[in-house]
Structure 1
Amino acid sequence: MTNDRSIQAKKLLNDRFGFENFRAGQEEAISSVLEERHALVMLPTGTGKTLCYQLPSYLLGGSTVIISPLLSLMEDQVEKMKSSGEKSVVALNSFLSYSEKQTILRNLSAYKFIFVSPEMLQQQGMIDQLKKIDLSLLVIDEAHCISQWGMDFRADYLKLGKVRHELNNPLTLALTATAVEQVRKDILSVLNISSEVDQIIYPVDRPSIQLRVAESVGDKKDQLLQAVSEFKGPGIVYFSSKKLADEMAELLRSQLGIPCESYHSDLDKEDKRKIQSQFLSDTLPVICATSAFGMGIDKPDIRFIIHYHLPGSPEMYLQEIGRCSRDRKGGVALLLYENGDEAIQMRLQENTLPDRDELVYAYRHADKLESLKDDTKINISRHFIEQSIPFEQAAEIVERYQTHKSVQLSTMVDYARRKGCKRDVLLDYFAEKPEVRRNGCCSGCSRTLSLPYDPVEWPNFLQNSEDLWQDKLKFLFNLQS
């Protein structure tokens, strides 16, 4: 990055985004983009990956297209950008009516930031409209979805190499928080940027987060009540079950007397926004949620993350606990583990991957797939058929993927059961070693752990929120006074 561009970038960082300094990895990523070099950026959850494309977009000119896999995340990002004063931003997804979509497409060049789902990019009309605009930067958010070995493989993401080619191979920025080396290789290969790319890879470890595992023997509810009572401050409790999230939110309200709500995909859009707003403003200190909550929630002072159920992979676990202690002032990640908890994840895996019989049916009745329920099994089978992958090769790919998912789950079981250092288990999976160990490190390293932050008593916490919620909202959304 030239000296002039560096000065411009730092001025923009302060004037538009309200920060005095870049976080680790941000300046390197922005420099690559401004030098018009493709980049694969892996930064830990909570380190501000969105800035890596938002800031340079203002200096590049033209439009930036951001491909995002989750509609809720896309909507959150658009709303946040609008709240911070950026009006030329739009999301193209299934939430739009036909007339709304057509109006946006006719005026697409007027938008600086265009968020789009990978599914929308399979429509030739969408590609034709994007080819007409001055596309300065193509951003692939959650880029690990490209790889069959990633945390959240999406068949539509595998088609992004073709999409990129149709858009005349624009400058490309791929972003992820958790990707092992094989996943990173897949990302570069699918996007066809392997030979001319800057890889900006930072460790996944978050030393300010203390790792704890509590073994349960039919007493998880009591352990949850005790933990929330001890940890205090803002926190999220994750569940694999929507029903249990509802029940535990009611239990925390009734037993501890604290404001607490559940959050999952059954809530309507308005209720989701209300809960998010209350959590950000500290009027709602605890959320009981499924994995639907947390993406795009940039709250710096979340103090604890509790998992009531065992996550399916180290990638997912690190991403979810990474929402804690973004201000680096300390946090706790607690996993409540009972022997046999892994059975839940095994059932979930069975429901997302086609078995051999289902693949046989798909290949024999490819013409009927369009009329079947749109789920992961159908999407994966359809992808194999559309790519003319022979049946036996497709079956082998699924078998390898199932094996990999088993390795991911086994790593999490090892993490839960390991008597030694818990952090080492997670970092070994990513072929990393801890650079520092703080706050006692984990429950495997220290038998007695104190909180790595100063807890705020619930009454004081709630009283403070009445005084500070307006200032916090301004800070979180970069609003001008």
Structure 2
Amino acid sequence: MKLEEHLKKYFNYTTFRTGQKEVISSILEGNHTIAMLPTGTGKSLCYQLSGYLLKGQVIIISPLLSLMQDQTEQLMMNGEKRVIAFNSFLTPQERKQALSQLNTYKFIFLSPEMLKSDFILNRLRELQIALFVIDEAHCISQWGYDFRPDYLKLGDFRRKLGNPLTLALTATATPEVKEELISSLSLKNWNEYIYSVDRPNIVLAVEVIDSYHDKSDRLVELVQNLEGPGIVYFSSKKMAEKMTIHLKQNGIDRVMAYHGGMEQENRVLIQQQFLHDQLDVICATSAFGMGINKENIRYVIHFHMPLQLESYLQEIGRAGRDGMKSIALLLYSPGDEQLPFQLAEGELPSEAQLDFVYHLLEEKNNSINDLGELENELISLSGLTEVQWRVVADYLFGNTKEPMQQRYVQLKVFINERLQVKRKKINDMLIWTQAQLNGCRRKNILKYFKEDKTIEIDDCCDQCGIDLTVFYPKTKNHKTADNFFDWKKHLAKILLVSERG
């Protein structure tokens, strides 16, 4: 049977998108595979279809709870019940039950941190692992934009699991990040499929706006006039909610806020309403969209400047997945870069927090190597966030062969280097917004990823010349079919399946 026939059987698609068939063929031939596919090309299908055609379980390592949950729900909506995501949405009883019957699942989603548990690792060893998938594989690189300490250990975890067939997936990785990825995973032989990050059907534009008030008014004007549906990205939950209210006050009713702090039921509800065209606009943080498979998003607006070009590409890549022309607009006001700098510094522990943790450990027992009950006390008293604590714990307790003082010095050096990387990423993003000094925006993004612009595109970017009115609709009528979609029944069905899964 041809791969296209399997594609039709399992997903009801007739053709593959860029790179999908090549990657799946490589996996089915038994090759470790690294794939860098553009956003919007359906990377998850690469392991899902491969999983159906291989005997055994598919283990997917995912860095974000929201992404993990989105992909789990998509599989369930496609009729797949043999899927489980080990995350905070599971109660202790549900987790215990799932682990006791792990071999009954086909697709198993895990965070990299969970692999540190000997119990879970031993349970995984009992399975017939058909494919070991590392999603968002750029998180492996210490100098990538979204480094996760436990991603660096995935090479060791692979070895402990018997070096299973491996697929590493990403949409945004510089050549340097890719090389570190290969080294970290200790891959001796592999196939790699590296495609351009460019999405030619997405028009790129930046508007420089003097003040916050003017920016708010401009956002209302854009949402009122642009052909939807669309996503507006913010750097804070508070601003996403505030601007949702502002849009509603200006006559835009079919809009909702979305962020990582929402209850699961509300999050799923908003996703479903957006997918079924009952909402025109989502005001979101970056938690929204990574696993959303909606093809007809016509615009993505950034109200705040992203922290780096990599995440900017990820987020604008939610637009135009049907291949139709779409637009990405970044609204920039002088000084906007200060917020990314603050956010970058907030992701890492401060020197004062590090000193506090270290001196507290000295008081307790300078040779302590096991966190035990001390962990909660350290987090509470130091004020460290979950993300900050992961970094501290990895350095101070991850390598117990070295003296605590030496680990502490290494941690300080690492944090300083990470801050320098993050500041450079923000400066690169800022320079890109000032494209009037550097020419074509698309060319500059490709240059950042060590690519050349090889094709000329109509409506390329604002620097090359675009007509924004092309993206204004001729009519504002909604589909009458929307009125007949029973989202309550649909949501209940999804949540019921999720509980049983």
Fold conserved (TM > 0.5)? Answer: yes
Matched, 1:406 2:400: no
Aligned partners of 1:164 and 1:363: how far apart in 2? 32
| Distance apart, 1:231 and its partner CA | 1.1
Contact 1:329 1:453 (C-alpha < 8 Å) held by counterparts: no
Aligned partners of 2:320 and 2:469: how far apart in 1? 12
Q: Which residue is equivalent to 2:202?
A: 209
Aligned partners of 1:456 and 1:67: how far apart in 2? 44
Contact 1:308 1:337 (C-alpha < 8 Å) held by counterparts: yes
Q: Which residue is equivalent to 1:307?
A: 302
Please, which moves more after superposition, 282-291 or 460-469? Answer: 460-469
Aligned partners of 1:464 and 1:256: how far apart in 2? 22
Aligned partners of 1:461 and 1:198: how far apart in 2? 46
| Distance apart, 1:352 and its partner CA | 1.2
Query: Helix, strand or coil: the match of 2:153?
Result: helix
Q: Which residue is equivalent to 1:384?
A: 395
Contact 1:146 1:155 (C-alpha < 8 Å) held by counterparts: yes
| Distance apart, 1:124 and its partner CA | 0.5
Question: How far does the alpha carbon of each residue in 1:130-188 deviate from its partner, in whole angstroms, 9 at most, with x for none?
Answer: 00111111001111111122232112212212211111111110111111112112211
Summarize the Cα distance change of 1:44–1:242 in structure 2 as closer, same or farther, 3 Å threshold.
Answer: same
Q: Which residue is equivalent to 1:371?
A: 377
RMSD over equivalenced CA pairs, Å: 2.1
Q: Which residue is equivalent to 1:3?
A: none
2:333 alignment partner, one of 331, 335, 338 = 338
Aligned partners of 1:450 and 1:240: how far apart in 2? 25
Matched, 1:66 2:60: yes
In the TM superposition, what are the counterparts of 1:323-472 in structure 2 within 5 Å? 323-366=318-361, 368-369=374-375, 371-373=377-379, 374-385=385-396, 386-387=398-399, 388=402, 390-419=407-436, 420-446=439-465, 448-451=466-469, 455=473, 457-458=475-476, 460-463=477-480, 465-466=482-483
Contact 1:330 1:452 (C-alpha < 8 Å) held by counterparts: no
Aligned partners of 1:312 and 1:268: how far apart in 2? 26
Aligned partners of 1:454 and 1:250: how far apart in 2? 23
Query: Helix, strand or coil: the match of 1:295?
Result: coil
Between the two proteins, what is the percent identity of the paired residues?
Answer: 43
In the TM superposition, what are the counterparts of 1:181-330 in structure 2 within 5 Å? 181-193=175-187, 195-218=188-211, 219-330=214-325
Q: Which residue is equivalent to 1:137?
A: 131
Aligned partners of 1:259 and 1:227: how far apart in 2? 15
Query: Helix, strand or coil: the match of 2:418?
Result: helix
Counterpart residue type for residue 228 of structure 1: V
Equivalenced residue count is 463
Counterpart residue type for residue 455 of structure 2: V
| Distance apart, 1:117 and its partner CA | 1.6
Please, which moves more after superposition, 393-402 or 8-17? Answer: 393-402
Q: Which residue is equivalent to 1:4?
A: none
Contact 2:58 2:131 (C-alpha < 8 Å) held by counterparts: yes
Aligned partners of 1:70 and 1:47: how far apart in 2? 19
Q: What are structure 1's unaligned runs of at least 5 residues? A: 1-6
Q: Which residue is equivalent to 1:127?
A: 121
Contact 2:205 2:461 (C-alpha < 8 Å) held by counterparts: yes
Contact 1:369 1:378 (C-alpha < 8 Å) held by counterparts: no
Summarize the Cα distance change of 1:59–1:342 in structure 2 as closer, same or farther, 3 Å threshold.
Answer: same
Aligned partners of 1:327 and 1:127: how far apart in 2? 40
Summarize the Cα distance change of 1:432–1:10 in structure 2 as closer, same or farther, 3 Å threshold.
Answer: same
Summarize the Cα distance change of 1:362–1:427 in structure 2 as closer, same or farther, 3 Å threshold.
Answer: farther
Q: What are structure 2's unaligned runs of at least 5 residues? A: 362-367, 369-373, 380-384, 495-501
Query: Helix, strand or coil: the match of 1:32?
Result: helix
Aligned partners of 1:273 and 1:449: how far apart in 2? 36
Query: Helix, strand or coil: the match of 1:119?
Result: helix
Contact 2:66 2:260 (C-alpha < 8 Å) held by counterparts: no
Question: How far does the alpha carbon of each residue in 1:253-308 deviate from its partner, in whole angstroms, 9 at most, with x for none?
Answer: 22133311111123211111111111111111111111111121110000000000
TM-score, normalised relative to structure 1: 0.91
Aligned partners of 1:334 and 1:252: how far apart in 2? 17
Contact 1:332 1:451 (C-alpha < 8 Å) held by counterparts: no
Aligned partners of 1:95 and 1:19: how far apart in 2? 31
Aligned partners of 1:92 and 1:244: how far apart in 2? 30
Query: Helix, strand or coil: the match of 1:372?
Result: helix
Q: Which residue is equivalent to 1:101?
A: 95
Aligned partners of 1:281 and 1:255: how far apart in 2? 23
Question: How far does the alpha carbon of each residue in 1:60-114 deviate from its partner, in whole angstroms, 9 at most, with x for none?
Answer: 1111111111112212211211111111111122322222222111211111111
Q: Which residue is equivalent to 1:43?
A: 37
Q: Which residue is equivalent to 2:86?
A: 92
Counterpart residue type for residue 259 of structure 1: R
Contact 2:225 2:472 (C-alpha < 8 Å) held by counterparts: no
